[in-house]
Structure 1
Amino acid sequence: MHSTKLPPARLAWTVWGLGAALYIIGFFQRVAPGVMTAELMSEFTLGAAALGNLSAFYFYSYVAMQIPTGLLADSWGPRRLLTAGAAVAGVGSLCFALADGLFWACAGRLLIGGSVAVAFVAMMKLSSLWMAPRQFALASGMALFLGILGAVFAGTPLRLLVVAYSWRPVMLAASVLPLLVAVAIWIIVRDDPGERGYASYAPKAPSGTPRTGIIEGLRQVFSYRNTWLLLFAPGAVAGSILTFAGLWGVPFLTTHYGLGAPEAAALCSTLLLAWAVGGPVCGGLSDRIGLRKPLYVAGCAVLTAGWAVVILVPALPYAVLVALLIVIGFAAGCMIIGFAFAKESVPAHLAGTAAGVCNMGSMLGPMLLQPAVGWMLDRKWQGAMAGGARIYELSAFRTGFSLMLVWAVLALVCVALTRETGCRQMQ
């Protein structure tokens, strides 16, 4: 006889929280190279293009894992998937910290990206089993907020640790945490509350629901115009934020605004925090007014205008620069609307696939932009060096960052061409 007693909130949030721990680690590792650019360029004798490619190895495997992760969450279960992900993340972090050449550094980044890619889907599956449906949105918002806090720790705190102890010992220490998380997940997490003697919140599948294979599901999802438009749009938002805050913002700010590396890292962290706040605000406001498109268009427009000023206007007053980065970060929160927008733009049985496609699109941005900006920087390099790392002129950064601006304009056009759903799921 199955229990009718629902799981206590403390246990439910603990189970979810251990999945969130891997998500936080993923965000930390995603942007960590941004405060170690000089050290990594000197250590591995890299130009900007090679450094951008090293950082982007995280995104190559992350994007590739988006569709398989949904299948693995169903077949393996969240417990096994999260345990394996955390363990591999630890091995990848260890590989990166001990790398004696570029090959092993790239291999470490590849392992990290592919392993932490499982966190979000597994967390959401746990939420649907362990938490009431009314808490699902809260769990989603908390996931993004906590993830970005992980990215913030990879800003000034990580920079100070790197300055004090060098990058290798710090990253070596960081490799221990995911291994501990893997052990904790295996001991505490269970796929279903029934394994702990509680009732599950999982809804029963309605009769007559189409069973669609992954290839057929993708074919059907891409037959809807909004899917294509909402695939390319978030790449500009996440891509520009993570390319700046996650890699090239610190060298740009230290070289052309005279900031110390910790101060530059703090400013990049401020951009990320504004993004964390903007997401829930934009999502909540969209739900309240019952519309998706207007807020998404407005957010993309503000983001585009903000980057245009930062990139094209030299020597901005510091207060103006800070204000612009905060506004850009907050406007980038419009990206969260895209996930609901994409799900509502296809029939209900394809909603999960559509959300996965949208999430893949968001990671295509940094995957392509980080190395592309680096390639442009190298093309404009004038030969200046400092501490074994290349120094780039303002014109080089302006040319490289123009790629972010071009994609932002294209994203604005894409969102403007979408069809409004009115916050209603297509039947």
Structure 2
Amino acid sequence: MHSESHPPLRLAWTVWGLGAALYIFGFFQRVAPGVMTTELIADFDLTGAELGSLSAFYFYSYVAMQIPTGLLADSWGPRKLLTAGALVAGLGSLCFAFADGLFWACTGRLLIGGSVAVAFVAMMKLSSHWMALKHFSLASGMALFLGILGAIFAGTPLRLLVSSFDWRPVMLISSLFPFVIAALIWIIVRDDPQERGYSSYAPATGIEEPRVGVIAGLRQAFTYRNTWLLSLAPGALAGSVLTFAGLWGVPFLTSHYALSAPLAAATCSAMLLMWAIGGPLLGSLSDRIGNRKPVYLVCCAVIAAAWTLVIFLPELSLIFLIGLLMMIGFASGGIIIGFAYVKESVPSNLAGTASGVCNMGVMVGPMLLQPAVGWVLDSRWQGTTNAGTRIYEAGAYRAGFSLILIWAVLALICLALTRETNCRQRP
């Protein structure tokens, strides 16, 4: 027994990393439709709005699960939650791979989104028990980094695999991954180091705190102004990246900048990579200066400015456009600051609930923007097609992407109204 010592860092990161494996798979599935647009449109005979809705079904269930996930992570425990999530993710992936129509494809996406939704909050719960407080921001940043690695694999590598083997066999093989994750989580992961004979990093009072119901927990969390402000803002950051790189970027770049599908996918992957790099760097900067609000505000301002240039300067050179997209990706990494910010804004016993609410706000962005952009594209479609796929004019894309800019401005307003925590947990 090692009850007087904390767990070795290697063991702590292993436990956390198995939760991260499900998060990686979730990111892979989150953006996979973006490089399979031609195949999905052909197989299911989709309009732009229908394609946006198919992709967004992932986010519908993901968002719906965030509040229950926060509460379950506080009461049921990460181990059971992650194991069940991985099993359902595997079933959803199989459903999507074998779908013979739009209904079953949407059902598969719905199951995947709802199941992988448990990963982030469960990972953060594990980190609060298995790691020292000083590692929390690092764990948050690494979560985004690893998740986006999954999204990057859903870029050019997935595009090349789909071109060689078609999308269904590739999705079928990928569905085996979450079943393996489920088995490893059940065998290795424990909710608290004390179950392995080590001392826990969780506050002693946290283990014995009474549980609150869903409604009571939400009511308490929302009495703190930062909870709802920090839940409205991050949709702009996630929406900027996932609406473009996760769905509409490839058709936009292939039709209006004459890029090949693999090169367009590589551009979107690079945008995601910048998101991954920006997360830990911006989170570390916030920790170093001891403030959350100014860094988060600058990130949103950069995103709004970059989208303004993309939208209102339509004759951009390809190099300048790619530079702006990379800037948007990097600045969107500031979303990591929001998780530490909202956690510090409420008492520790509400941290899981507040994190769930904040993560719900993150996913509301792409959930609404992906189909909304598709609807705008359809409303401005001039009837042009290529091999049965709709081709949209540049002006239609500018109108659709204007929705992202509007949300970025809203995020700036929300963040301006937040109260700084100075990187200290509220008592």
- Shorter-chain TM-score: what band? over 0.9
Q: 1:137 to 1:338 in 2, by over 3 A?
A: closer
Partner of 1:295: 295
Report deviation, 1:146.
0.3
Partner of 1:387: 387
Partner of 1:363: 363
1:60 aligns with 2:57: no
Task: For residues 199-251 of structure 1, give each alpha carbon's deviation from its aligned partner in whole angstroms, at most 9, with x where no partner exists.
Answer: 43333116996764331232232233333322211111111210001000000
Partner of 1:109: 109
Contact 2:71/2:353 (8 A) holds in 1: no
Residue type of the alignment partner of 2:328: I
1:346 aligns with 2:346: yes
Q: For 1:209 and 1:197, how far apart are their aligned partners in 2?
A: 22
1:316 aligns with 2:316: yes
Partner of 1:147: 147
Q: For 1:405 and 1:283, how far apart are their aligned partners in 2?
A: 23
Which TM-score applies when normalising by structure 1? 0.94
Q: 1:210 to 1:80 in 2, by over 3 A?
A: closer
Partner of 1:264: 264
Contact 2:75/2:211 (8 A) holds in 1: no
Q: For 2:116 and 2:278, how far apart are their aligned partners in 1?
A: 24
Partner of 2:12: 12
Report deviation, 1:317.
1.3
Contact 2:69/2:356 (8 A) holds in 1: no
Residue type of the alignment partner of 1:82: L
In structure 1, list runs of 5 or more residues that go unmatched.
none
Q: 1:346 to 1:139 in 2, by over 3 A?
A: closer
Task: For residues 16-64 of structure 1, give each alpha carbon's deviation from its aligned partner in whole angstroms, at most 9, with x where no partner exists.
Answer: 2211110100000000000011111111000010110010110011111
Residue type of the alignment partner of 1:45: D
Q: For 2:11 and 2:225, how far apart are their aligned partners in 1?
A: 42
Q: For 2:200 and 2:423, how far apart are their aligned partners in 1?
A: 28
Q: Secondary structure at the match of 2:70?
A: helix
Residue type of the alignment partner of 1:196: R
Q: For 1:8 and 1:282, how far apart are their aligned partners in 2?
A: 27
Q: 1:339 to 1:15 in 2, by over 3 A?
A: closer
Partner of 2:119: 119
Q: 1:77 to 1:405 in 2, by over 3 A?
A: same
Partner of 2:253: 253
Q: 1:100 to 1:288 in 2, by over 3 A?
A: same
Q: 1:62 to 1:309 in 2, by over 3 A?
A: same
Q: Secondary structure at the match of 2:38?
A: helix
Contact 2:278/2:331 (8 A) holds in 1: yes
Task: For residues 394-421 of structure 1, give each alpha carbon's deviation from its aligned partner in whole angstroms, at most 9, with x where no partner exists.
Answer: 1111111111111111111221222333
Q: For 1:212 and 1:190, how far apart are their aligned partners in 2?
A: 23
Partner of 1:39: 39
Name which of structure 1's ranges 403-412 and 352-361 shifts more when overlaid on structure 2: 352-361
Q: For 1:73 and 1:384, how far apart are their aligned partners in 2?
A: 49
Q: 1:208 to 1:2 in 2, by over 3 A?
A: closer
Residue type of the alignment partner of 2:322: V
Which TM-score applies when normalising by structure 2? 0.94
Q: For 1:244 and 1:72, how far apart are their aligned partners in 2?
A: 32
Report deviation, 1:356.
2.1
Q: Secondary structure at the match of 1:151?
A: helix
1:325 aligns with 2:325: yes
Residue type of the alignment partner of 1:42: A
Q: 1:131-280 residue pairs with structure 2 within 5 A?
A: 131-205=131-205, 212-280=212-280
Q: For 2:36 and 2:55, how far apart are their aligned partners in 1?
A: 11
Report deviation, 1:124.
1.9
Q: For 1:208 and 1:127, how far apart are their aligned partners in 2?
A: 18
Name which of structure 1's ranges 362-371 and 199-208 shifts more when overlaid on structure 2: 199-208
Q: For 2:207 and 2:199, how far apart are their aligned partners in 1?
A: 21
Q: Secondary structure at the match of 1:65?
A: helix
Report deviation, 1:167.
0.7
Task: For residues 329-361 of structure 1, give each alpha carbon's deviation from its aligned partner in whole angstroms, at most 9, with x where no partner exists.
Answer: 111122222222223333444333222221111
Q: For 1:96 and 1:207, how far apart are their aligned partners in 2?
A: 40
